[in-house]
Structure 1
Amino acid sequence: MPHARTHDRYDVVIAGARVAGSATALLLARAGVRVLVVDPVERGRDTLSTHALMRGGVMQLSRWGLLDAVRRAGTPRIETTTFHYGSGADSDVIRVAIEPEGDVDGLYAPRRTVLDTILADAAREAGAELRYGWALADVKQTPNGHVTAAVLRGPDGAEHEAPTDVLVGADGLRSKVARSLGARTQQLTSHATASIYGYWPGLDADGYHWYFGEGLAAGVIPTNDRQACVFVSMPPSRLRAVGGQGLHRLFHDVVGAVSPDLRARLESTGAVPRLRGFAGAPGMLREAAGPGWALVGDAGYFKDPLTAHGMTDALRDAELLARAILRGRSGGTTMDDALLAYQEARDALSLGLLEVTDQIASLSWTRDEVQRLHRTLSGEMRAEVDVIRAWDRLRTAA
């Protein structure tokens, strides 16, 4: 390997410029921290997502002054969430109104081309340095394992060493940071669903809709450009059986099984959107902190997408981590202790969500059981919102 050229020192280097990485950078940069963010892909590239933000995430975007940008991008306001259990005349339909709270007038489900860009641009405006087309190549550590620098590979293939106090892995489920530092998996769930996603114009969806049938599920999530993200979830074996060539037929078969009405509505649009499949992955909770490093977003904590809580988790944990790093820099505690406290706080908020999501992802529930699981999920989300409200009160008091 050629010798890596050494760059200026950064307080924090973040690998990954999507929701978790850009949000962490934004909060740190606003506090005067010198932050470098690198990402191997170009700014604003789309990625698989359910897009749905829950109340906690919308509250944070509002407090950070970014919710208006989400609205200006044409992201529709979600005023209701509807759960459909069973199909046809025998189904139970439960409609929940989204109560306004302060500036949070509803929920939002921005495309990743919208949200990732808003967060990254806000981080740059706050003073963070963002480099697209740059990847983490290696990590430098002391003999006792303390991170001292990130080795970065630029677009020309040359390597550059960036000394740092803290390296943050916000680089997704297959995190290079986690692999390089040997982050242990603390929890691994038993279940996973496979999914197929597409975007439908002209669907006229009135809020989030979640459908639960026998061993299958689906969702409709209004997003930007007058489109709705429509997804189906199933056991991974069903997706493996058809491969890439049978996505459309399988998609419509699953939609028809959970809601013949939804299938008819999709077909009435005349649209034939591109469909993308996700083979599924077990949920996991990784060790999220060590000497001079931390993980945030999917790099440290991944749940089955069926509960559509990943982006909300990413925003929540970005703020937990940023607050921890600022405490470590203040001198009131060591940085390593602050990062370990971040991991403990993340785990306390995540374990219940991880467990109930795994049970829902089993797809082996009865109608009564899945409704009970959703009540449990709602309780976990309320606890999360209470924590975020406390952050809001602290900011107001300051």
Structure 2
Amino acid sequence: MNSPNQSDVIVIGGGPAGATASTLVAQQGYSVKLLEREPTPQYRIGESLIPETYWTFKRLNMLDKLRASHFVKKHSVQFVNSSGKLSAPFNFFEHNPHECSQTWQIRRSEFDAMMLQNAQEQGVEVSQGVRVLDVLFQNDRAIGVVIKNAEGRREELLARVVVDASGQSSMILNKFKLREPDPELNKGAIWTYYEGAYRDEEPNAGATIVLSLKKSTGWFWYIPLHENIVSVGVVADFDYLFKERRDHATTFQEELINCPVVKERLSLGTQVEKVRATRDFTYRSKQAAGNGWVLVGDALGFLDPLYSSGILLALKSGELAADAIVEGLRKNDTSKEQLGKWAEEYFKGMNRMRRLVVEFYNGFNFGEFVKRYPHHKGNVTNLLIGDLFKDELDQVFLDIDRMKSKDM
């Protein structure tokens, strides 16, 4: 038996990636401590799920909780071009008539609390209000953490594996200088919330809408949430949004003028929360794992939110890391190679979504692409719903390159 200060696995961070990794390891009978700095889940952005999250939720035994929640059901996504033309709703069920094609728009504080409760129910020892001060290493191997517990006392906790799911402030990411920014996607966002703004009729009342700004300088998200709230934000190049601007609230209002469809929708509602901003969206770690440690979620990397891939990538990295950890614990192999064996395929999938994002910003016409290459309609749809981890999807990008070269 492990001592009170010894576990098989310690997970730093109680967001979706940490909750996923801890739950899936605990399901296999291993002792897992999850350490979350905040005493209760806090406000976070990242509110729209995409269909492929279903399969990880199924493994986590989360589906019944989500079905019983008051989260808005999401059946579709729509796009509005820079001229204000609204696409037909992109209905997930038409592509795949399965329960997985209905997903949800979430409030992160509530969703994260559900995920932590679910982890506890399946054997994870969840400690909130605990600050991790350092990751302990013996030579080049992670062996545990130093914490300040909820009573303010310092303790050392030991583990066979340390999972860093602590987000962009990741200790391991920063300790080893692993962060690689993506200069092609140097974006930022400014957002807020409205009550009573316009919603489409069912079944598209819960659709995410992506609306291009005039001159395609960026885009707005429009996400209907429960309690008649809409999350609305603008994403654009860092310099465009933040340099030589007066303040974030003024910039937000100025960009509404550049997107009349959003301005009209919001005119029916009232702004109910402050304007928030974030910068430098896209980055990734140079490596996913080392001896005795592994990164998941935003500690591993983050991709521009255009196609709402954030929660999917958090869940998927947590799931893949958990499977590698369980296999490693069974074999008594917690090496860098074992704990990071999934990373190459994961980054391939992330790169496929990244390529879609880059093509959007470069003005590529996906509607014209599907007309020219109709056999790729299903593949493009798979990419958009988050079914990213198939090598055959790479043919899409070869044909995108072929189409672009012909049009030059």
Question: So what's the TM-score if we normalise by structure 2?
Answer: 0.82
Q: 2:365 corresponds to which letter in structure 1?
A: D
Q: What SS class does the counterpart of residue 139 from structure 1 fall into?
A: strand
Considering only aligned residues, what root-mean-square deviation do their CA atoms show, in Å? Answer: 2.8
Counterparts in 2 of 1:339 and 1:345: CA distance versus 1, 3 Å: farther
Which residue of structure 1 aligns with residue 323 of structure 2?
323
SS at match of 2:162: strand
Instruction: Please state how far the C-alpha of 1:359 moved relative to its aligned partner.
Output: 4.8
The alpha-carbon distance between structure 1 residues 280 and 345, as it changes in their structure 2 partners (threshold 3 A), is same
Change (3 A) 1:104 1:226: farther
Counterparts in 2 of 1:371 and 1:74: CA distance versus 1, 3 Å: farther
Residue of structure 2 equivalent to 1:390? none
Match of 2:178 among 169, 184, 188: 184
In structure 1, what is the Cα distance between the partners aligned to 2:187 and 2:229?
24
Give the aligned residue type for 1:222: P
CA change 1:138–1:68 in 2 (3 A) is same
**Residue 96 (structure 2) pairs with residue 109 (structure 1):** no
Paired with 2:248 and 2:339, the residues of 1 have a C-alpha distance of: 43
**Partner residue in 1 for 2:230:** 228
Letter in 1 for 2:185: H
Q: What code does the residue aligned with 1:325 have?
A: I
Corresponding residue SS for 1:219? strand
Which digits, 9 at most, give the CA deviation of each residue in 1:80-126, with x for residues without a partner?
Answer: 211111234xx362421121654325121211012111111111111
| Matching residue within 11, 15, 19 for 1:18 | 15
- Tell me, in whole angstroms, the C-alpha distance in 2 between the residues paired with 1:289 and 1:255: 42
Equivalent residue for 1:172, pick from 163, 167, 176: 167
Find the counterpart in structure 2 of residue 124 from structure 1. Answer: 120
Q: 1:325 to 1:47 in 2, by over 3 A?
A: same
Shift of 1:366: 3.0
Query: d(CA) in 1 for partners of 2:18 and 2:127?
Result: 12
Give yes or no for contact 1:7–1:160 (8 Å, CA) kept in 2.
no
Deviation at 1:52, TM superposition (A): 1.0
d(CA) in 2 for partners of 1:383, 1:107: 12
Residue number in structure 2 paired with 1:396: none
* Offset, 1:196: 1.3
Deviations 1:196-226 (A, max 9, x none): 1222222224211111232120111122323
The Cα of 1:286 is off from its aligned counterpart by 3.3
Deviation at 1:162, TM superposition (A): 0.7
SS in 2 for 1:384: coil
What is the Cα deviation at residue 285 of structure 1?
3.7
The answer to whether residue 29 in structure 2 is matched with residue 27 in structure 1 is no
The runs of 5 or more residues in structure 2 that have no matched partner are: 371-375, 391-408
| Equivalent position amino acid for 2:136 in 1 | K
In structure 2, the residue matched to 1:154 is 149
Name stretches of at least 5 consecutive residues in structure 1 with no aligned partner: 1-5, 388-398
Q: Which residue of 2 aligns with 1:79?
A: 75
Work out the percentage of aligned pairs sharing the same amino acid. Answer: 20
Match of 2:92 among 93, 98, 104: 98
Q: Secondary structure at the match of 2:17?
A: helix
Report the counterpart of residue 391 of structure 1 in structure 2: none
**Counterparts of 2:76 and 2:234 in 1: how far apart (Å)?**
20
Is the 1:16–1:170 contact (alpha carbons within 8 Å) kept by the matching residues of 2? yes
User: Letter of the aligned partner of 1:126 in structure 2?
Assistant: Q
Q: Distance in 2 between matches of 1:382 and 1:202?
A: 28
Aligned CA distance change for structure 1 residues 332 and 16 (closer, same or farther; 3 Å): closer
Question: How many pairs were matched up?
Answer: 372
Equivalent AA in structure 2 for residue 276 of structure 1: R
Q: Residue deviations 1:13-39, cap 9 Å, x none?
A: 111001110111111111111111112
Q: Which moved more, 1:11-20 or 1:306-315?
A: 306-315
SS where residue 44 of structure 1 aligns?
coil
Question: 5 Å matches for 1:276-315?
Answer: 276-315=276-315
Query: By how many angstroms is 1:268 displaced?
Result: 2.0
Residue 194 of structure 1 aligns with which residue? 188
Change (3 A) 1:141 1:64: closer
Displacement of 1:191 after TM fit? 2.2
Task: Report the Cα distance in structure 1 between the residues aligned to 2:288 and 2:270, rounded to whole angstroms.
Answer: 46
Shift of 1:189: 4.2
Letter in 2 for 1:64: L
Could you say what secondary structure the match of 1:47 adopts? coil
**After TM superposition, what 4+ stretches of structure 1 lie above 6 angstroms from structure 2?**
373-377
Aligned 8 A contact 1:11 1:165 in 2: yes
Q: Tell me the residue number matched to 2:395.
A: none
Aligned to 2:254: 253
- 1:47 partnered with 2:44: yes
Deviation at 1:322?
A: 0.7
Give the drift of 1:77: 1.1
CA contact (8 A) 2:132 2:146 kept: yes
The alpha-carbon deviation at position 186 of structure 1 amounts to 6.0
Q: Distance in 2 between matches of 1:186 and 1:247?
A: 27
**Cα displacement (A) at 1:356:** 3.5
